């Protein structure tokens, strides 16, 4: 898996347009797609972990992970890796584990993101698609 990660041609956008993520309420955040690290589902809420001015921040939005997944599809660097997580593949530093379960280490975070067996095939093909 780490070989796929290192072979993947990562093209980072430096001056892209900011996107507005919003939920079912008035709450929203405006952030560059490249600054989003991951999104974690928590019931009817999604915790968006992102970098702003060099600091890691979290914003809880009332939305589902499926709605966020559909919203992020067009940006090309986000992949669903677990029923509760969407990650920015440009932020993956290391992949640990085996066929029983992989864990992703992301830049600037201590949290390990699981890759479930359900999403493993899609995750691998996403990493392979630019090779």
pLDDT tens for each residue of 75-117? 889 999 999 999 999 999 999 988 778 999 998 888 899 999 9
The C-alpha atoms of residue 131 and residue 124 are separated, in whole angstroms, by: 11
The C-alpha atoms of residue 21 and residue 116 are separated, in whole angstroms, by: 25
Task: Please tell me the pTM assigned to this model.
Answer: 0.84
Over pLDDT 70: what percentage of the chain?
Answer: 86
How large is the greatest C-alpha to C-alpha distance in the chain, in angstroms?
42
What domains, with CATH codes, occur in the chain?
2-7+15-128 (2.40.50.1020)
The C-alpha atoms of residue 74 and residue 63 are separated, in whole angstroms, by: 18
> Phi then psi for 71, rounded to 5 degrees?
-65, -35
């Amino acid at each position: 898996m780490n070989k796929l990660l290192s072979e993947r041609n990562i093209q980072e956008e430096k001056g892209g347009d900011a996107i507005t993520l919003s939920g079912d309420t008035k709450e929203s955040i405006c952030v560059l797609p490249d600054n989003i690290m991951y999104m974690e589902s928590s019931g009817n809420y999604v915790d968006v972990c992102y970098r702003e001015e060099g600091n890691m921040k979290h914003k809880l939005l009332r939305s589902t992970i499926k709605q966020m997944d559909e919203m992020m599809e067009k940006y090309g660097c986000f992949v669903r890796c677990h029923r509760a997580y969407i990650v920015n593949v440009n932020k993956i530093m290391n992949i640990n584990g085996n066929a029983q379960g992989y864990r992703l280490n992301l830049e600037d975070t201590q949290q390990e993101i699981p890759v479930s067996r359900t999403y493993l095939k899609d995750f691998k093909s996403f990493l392979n698609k630019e090779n």
